[in-house]
């Protein structure tokens, strides 16, 4: 009996100990979940790891592993993320498909591309609608595509970096403004619960010339973070003396996060990212999240002031990472607003005369099921951004999207190593040719280790020598037109030694055309797809000839800027032979023309009106072809009306007969909108009605002159689109009022 009681007591004791252990473990899980919901991922990781060492409950273990893996992802600890996701898939193979995606991403960030390819493939089988599975599986079959420019850039670690995160530089006058979590001054240190680092503020390095990339130590450690050696195009600095860094603005910096910025071209206004906090008040979403918003501020002499949030912000979603285009008419930004394609998408919104339009998603070509962020617009209106949804080396990679004539063309391009690595690479800023610039990366260690790097393109020269075919003497002042992948590039001229040099691009097909009056044109080809030799020299020999050279340039009628991508065709009117070229950024072209022949020159491009002319005599002058494009707005001069009237006066009729009417007659398929504007005097309603009547009067005049009314649209804008600051309540001169009283026509279509 005593023995039986002892056995029962022993079993009861073991049961109670087990029960107490489970209760204790569940308490740890509850505490970990609490920290997880607070976004305190470091503390959550500690508690989840403790719980998993003791837990024996299958469902609780899976819940903890999911959240532990997610937490490691959030603090960018890819090695531990890989470990956790491996254990999940090993023990729970039927887990949701996202775990396979996260495991594939972690493997790629740890340079295990073959294994990553396998799990991207498995993810693609489970989630066929998500294109990432298929795209990454295919891209990892040939990794060479990511390294095609690996020898073209020199990367330098900068001495503005601190022991905390430093990232997302932006040009400001002669310096750089950037985000940093470097230690705050003062006794009280506020830290961000996510990763226990200080909150981000804006700082400035006032002079880029003092950033001293030459202080980098060659061969110290790998920029890739995973290799024991450093390649010859990389340099890393360790424990360098910091360059002088200052708080950018005590007005803009607050106790919360301030993030990436973008400046207007006059440097007097800034758009910046900040937590949902302004004028001493923090706001949250309905779910209790303090998200990100975009704010604008003005420079008042030496201080920033008048901080206001942009009108399309919301408490229910985040907006951040601003990027203005060159003429400040468009703002690109990042948001997780409803209706996007993935986690965060890039959006664009129009800006004109202090007014913001409605944000529009940048589209499926740019945005993926993943995260797109950190946009930047270069001087040529091209877009750079970071993404983990497009095919890359791991983490965030930097991508490039070419933009021409107001639209993205071609496919998104990964800029490749060494600008990209297996870790997070983002926040790139550069010139139009991507010859130099700055970017951010956590490639050194990968955890809380964002740093700012500079880069510059290394030149791999190709020398072109031009000689007289008979005398073998070098020829100076020979025009050399480089054609890269079928498109004209900038025209260069040989020196006194008959030489010209260019820097080669990788994976490109070249043709070099030598052009000189009195000589027959000649050309030579070269390919960097098959020829990897450096310091190569090519020779072109020119024979004397009585042929002529037709030189020309294609420009926009509106702003007289050269137009790239125009197909220029020269047709000999006698034998009907044709020559065709595609213009480059300089809009230029050259053709060899037989003497005493008549030729027809035609310029064509999508969304532009085709223009043709017959050329009978070739001379040394440069021919200019001007093109009208869809969306062009052309001001009509001297279109005046009597006070409060809308009838066409005689002087206005003459202006229409001399300008707009000939254009509509030359391009019979062109459709235009006649746009009439008033100044701000009188009421808005009266001005809108008056402008509509004036626009209608111009349309009526054109119809009476023989133009099909279906090609014309009359639109009055009243005082809504001033071209200066002369709005209601602002005193203006008569000249300023006159600037706003104008008539324009906008090309709606050309075909």
pLDDT digits (tens, 9 = 90+) for 617-647: 777 778 899 999 999 998 887 776 666 667 7
Lowest mean pLDDT among 218-227, 240-249, 338-347: 218-227
Q: Over 50: is that where the pLDDT of 229 sits? A: no
pLDDT bin (cut points 50, 70, 90) of residue 20 is very low
Q: Over 70: is that where the pLDDT of 119 sits? A: yes
Provide the β-strand partners of residue 455: 155, 437
Verify cis geometry, omega within 30 degrees of 0, for the bond prior to 418: yes
Task: Classify residue 369 by its DSSP letter.
Answer: S
Domains and CATH numbers, the chain: 2-147 (1.25.40.10), 153-457 (2.120.10.30), 462-627 (2.60.40.1120), 633-749 (3.30.1330.60)
- How many degrees, rounded to 5, is the angle at CA 380 between CA 158 and CA 363? 95
Structure-token pair, residue 671? 């459709």
Q: What are the pLDDT digits (tens) for 272-290?
A: 999 887 777 778 878 777 8
Q: What is the CA radius of gyration of the chain?
A: 32
Q: What are the pLDDT digits (tens) for 32-71?
A: 999 998 888 999 999 999 999 988 888 899 999 999 999 9
Confidence at residue 445, expressed as pLDDT on a 0 to 100 scale: 65
Mean pLDDT of 140-167: 88
H or E segment and range at residue 662: helix 660-666
Distances (CA, A) of 457 to 371, 454, 673, 700: 28, 11, 46, 58
Among 342, 339, 337, 335, residue whose Cα is nearest residue 129: 342
Q: Over 90: is that where the pLDDT of 459 sits? A: no
Mean pLDDT of 196-201: 77
Q: Over 50: is that where the pLDDT of 230 sits? A: no
422 half-sphere exposure, CB direction, 13 A CA radius:
25
Counting residues of the chain whose pLDDT is more than 90, the rounded percentage is 58
Among 537, 467, 540, 478, residue whose Cα is nearest residue 504: 537
Mean pLDDT of 445-469: 87
Q: What are the pLDDT digits (tens) for 508-560?
A: 889 999 999 889 999 999 988 765 555 689 999 999 998 888 999 999 998 89
Structure-token pair, residue 522? 């000649």
Give the β-pairing of 479-484 and 234-235. unpaired
Alpha-carbon gap, residue 676 to 246, rounded angstroms: 50
User: Quick one: angle between helices 78-91 and 97-109, nearest 10?
Assistant: 140
Indicate if the alpha-carbon torsion angle 211, 217, 223, 225 is positive or negative.
Answer: negative
**Cβ-based neighbour number of residue 264 at 10 Å:** 15
Structure-token pair, residue 99? 């775990």
Lowest mean pLDDT among 322-331, 438-447, 670-679: 438-447
Among 697, 176, 138, 751, residue whose Cα is nearest residue 440: 176
Coil, strand, or helix at residue 522?
Answer: strand
Confidence at residue 579, expressed as pLDDT on a 0 to 100 scale: 93
Alpha-carbon gap, residue 549 to 581, rounded angstroms: 14
Which residue do the tokens 């804008």 mark?
A: 717
Lowest mean pLDDT among 75-89, 297-311, 721-735: 721-735
Q: Over 60: is that where the pLDDT of 360 sits? A: yes
Average pLDDT taken over every residue of the chain: 86
Q: What are the pLDDT digits (tens) for 569-628?
A: 999 999 999 999 999 889 999 998 988 889 999 999 999 999 999 998 777 778 899 999
Alpha carbon dihedral 76, 82, 87, 89, in 10-degree steps, equals 100
Q: Over 50: is that where the pLDDT of 438 sits? A: yes
pLDDT bin (cut points 50, 70, 90) of residue 225 is very low
Alpha-carbon gap, residue 701 to 745, rounded angstroms: 14
Its pTM stands at 0.71
pLDDT bin (cut points 50, 70, 90) of residue 485 is confident
Chain centroid offset of residue 362 CA: 11
Mean pLDDT of 642-671: 85
Kindly give, in sequence order, each residue whose CB lies less than 8 Å from that of residue 511, ignoring residues fewer than 6 positions away: 482, 483, 523, 524, 525, 526
Percent helix, strand and coil across the chain, each rounded to 5? Answer: 25, 35, 40
Q: Over 60: is that where the pLDDT of 15 sits? A: no
Confidence at residue 643, expressed as pLDDT on a 0 to 100 scale: 63
Indicate if the alpha-carbon torsion angle 58, 61, 63, 69 is positive or negative.
Answer: negative
Distances (CA, A) of 255 to 39, 184, 189, 269, 582: 18, 10, 10, 22, 54
Give the β-pairing of 201-205 and 175-180. antiparallel
Alpha-carbon gap, residue 119 to 98, rounded angstroms: 11
Confidence at residue 43, expressed as pLDDT on a 0 to 100 scale: 92
Alpha-carbon gap, residue 437 to 456, rounded angstroms: 7
Confidence at residue 535, expressed as pLDDT on a 0 to 100 scale: 60
User: Contact 254/277 with Cβ under 8 angstroms?
Assistant: yes
Alpha carbon dihedral 269, 274, 279, 282, in 10-degree steps, equals 160
Alpha-carbon gap, residue 414 to 230, rounded angstroms: 22
User: Contact 320/258 with Cβ under 8 angstroms?
Assistant: no
Confidence at residue 533, expressed as pLDDT on a 0 to 100 scale: 53
Which tops the pLDDT comparison, 157 or 241? Answer: 157
**Cβ-based neighbour number of residue 230 at 10 Å:** 18
Alpha-carbon gap, residue 550 to 590, rounded angstroms: 6
Q: What are the pLDDT digits (tens) for 368-384?
A: 999 999 999 999 999 99
- How many degrees, rounded to 5, is the angle at CA 693 between CA 748 and CA 691? 75
Q: Over 90: is that where the pLDDT of 106 sits? A: yes
**Cβ-based neighbour number of residue 231 at 10 Å:** 15
Confidence at residue 132, expressed as pLDDT on a 0 to 100 scale: 95
Mean pLDDT of 672-678: 91
- E strands, 227-352, are 234-235, 246-247, 258-263, 269-275, 277-278, 281-282, 292-300, 303-309, 319-324, 330-335, 345-352
Provide the β-strand partners of residue 398: 386
Which residue do the tokens 């409060």 mark?
A: 644
pLDDT bin (cut points 50, 70, 90) of residue 144 is confident
681 half-sphere exposure, CB direction, 13 A CA radius:
11
Instruction: For 468-520, give the DSSP string.
Output: ETTT--B--S-EEEEEETTEEEEEEE--TTSEEEEEPPTT-EEEEEEE-TTB-
Mean pLDDT of 454-474: 93
Give the β-pairing of 451-457 and 461-468. unpaired
User: Contact 554/583 with Cβ under 8 angstroms?
Assistant: yes
Alpha-carbon gap, residue 371 to 342, rounded angstroms: 6
**Cβ-based neighbour number of residue 116 at 10 Å:** 23
């Amino acid at each position: 009996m005593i023995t039986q009681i002892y056995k029962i007591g022993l079993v009861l004791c073991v049961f109670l100990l087990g029960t107490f252990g489970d209760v204790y473990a569940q308490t740890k899980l509850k505490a970990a979940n609490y920290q997880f919901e607070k976004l305190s991922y470091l503390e959550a990781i500690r508690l989840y790891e403790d719980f998993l060492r003791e837990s024996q409950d299958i469902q609780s273990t899976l819940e903890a592993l999911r959240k532990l893996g997610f937490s490691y992802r959030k603090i960018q600890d890819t090695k531990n993320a890989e470990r956790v996701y491996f254990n999940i898939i090993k023990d729970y193979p039927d887990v949701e498909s996202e775990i396979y995606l996260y495991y594939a991403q972690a493997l790629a960030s740890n340079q295990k591309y073959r294994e990553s390819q396998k799990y991207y493939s498995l993810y693609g089988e489970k989630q066929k609608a998500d294109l990432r599975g298929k795209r990454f599986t295919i891209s990892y079959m040939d990794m060479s595509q990511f390294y095609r420019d690996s020898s073209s850039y020199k990367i330098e670690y900068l001495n503005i970096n601190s022991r905390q995160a430093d990232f997302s530089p932006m040009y400001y006058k002669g310096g750089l403004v950037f985000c940093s979590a470097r230690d705050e001054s003062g006794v009280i240190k506020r830290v961000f619960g996510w990763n226990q680092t200080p909150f981000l503020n804006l700082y400035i390095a006032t002079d880029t010339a003092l950033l001293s990339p030459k202080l980098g130590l060659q061969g110290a450690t790998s920029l890739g973070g995973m290799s024991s050696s450093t390649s010859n195009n990389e340099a890393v600095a360790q424990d360098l003396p910091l360059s002088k860094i200052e708080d950018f603005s005590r007005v803009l910096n607050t106790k919360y996060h301030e993030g990436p910025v973008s400046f207007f071209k006059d440097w007097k206004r800034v758009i910046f990212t900040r937590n949902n906090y302004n004028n001493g008040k923090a706001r949250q979403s309905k779910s209790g999240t303090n998200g990100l918003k975009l704010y604008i501020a003005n420079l008042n002499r030496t201080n920033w002031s008048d901080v206001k949030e942009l009108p399309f912000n919301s408490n229910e979603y985040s907006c951040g990472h601003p990027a203005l285009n060159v003429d400040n008419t468009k703002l690109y930004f990042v948001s997780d607003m409803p209706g996007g394609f993935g986690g965060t998408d890039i959006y664009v919104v129009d800006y004109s005369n202090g007014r913001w339009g409605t944000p529009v998603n940048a589209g499926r070509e740019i945005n993926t099921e993943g995260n797109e962020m950190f946009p930047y617009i270069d001087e040529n209106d091209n877009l750079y951004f970071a993404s983990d949804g497009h095919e890359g080396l791991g983490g965030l990679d930097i991508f490039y999207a070419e933009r021409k004539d107001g639209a993205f063309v071609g496919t998104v391009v990964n800029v490749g190593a060494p600008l990209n690595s297996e870790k997070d690479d983002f926040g790139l800023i550069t010139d139009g040719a991507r010859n130099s610039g700055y970017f951010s990366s956590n490639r050194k260690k990968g955890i809380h280790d964002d740093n700012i790097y500079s880069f510059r393109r290394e030149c791999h020269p190709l020398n072109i020598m031009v000689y007289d075919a008979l005398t073998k003497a070098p020829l100076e002042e020979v025009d050399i037109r480089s054609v890269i992948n079928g498109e004209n590039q900038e025209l260069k001229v040989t020196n006194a030694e008959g030489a010209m040099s260019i820097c080669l691009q990788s994976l490109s097909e070249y043709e070099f055309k030598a052009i000189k009056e009195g000589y027959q044109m000649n050309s030579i080809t070269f390919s960097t797809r098959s020829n990897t030799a450096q310091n190569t020299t090519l020779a072109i020999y020119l024979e004397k000839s009585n042929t002529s050279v037709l030189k020309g340039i294609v420009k926009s009628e509106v702003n007289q800027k050269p137009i790239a991508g125009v197909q220029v065709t020269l047709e000999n009117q006698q034998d009907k032979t044709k020559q065709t070229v595609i213009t480059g950024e300089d809009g230029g072209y050259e053709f060899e023309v037989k003497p005493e022949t008549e030729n027809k020159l035609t310029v064509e491009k999508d969304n532009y009106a085709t223009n043709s002319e017959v050329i009978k005599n070739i001379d040394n002058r440069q021919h200019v072809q001007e093109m009208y494009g869809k969306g062009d707005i052309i001001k009509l001069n001297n279109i005046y009306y009597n006070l409060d009237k809308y009838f066409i006066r005689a002087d206005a009729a003459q202006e229409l007969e001399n300008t707009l009417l000939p254009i509509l007659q030359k391009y019979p398929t062109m459709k235009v909108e006649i746009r009439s504007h008033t100044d701000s005097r009188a009421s808005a309603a009266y001005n809108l009605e008056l402008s509509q009547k004036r626009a209608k009067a111009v349309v009526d005049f054109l119809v009476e002159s023989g133009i099909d009314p279906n090609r014309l649209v009359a639109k009055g804008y009243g005082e809504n689109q001033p071209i200066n600051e002369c709005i209601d309540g602002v005193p203006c001169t008569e000249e300023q009022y006159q600037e706003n009283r104008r008539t324009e026509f906008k090309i709606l279509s050309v075909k």
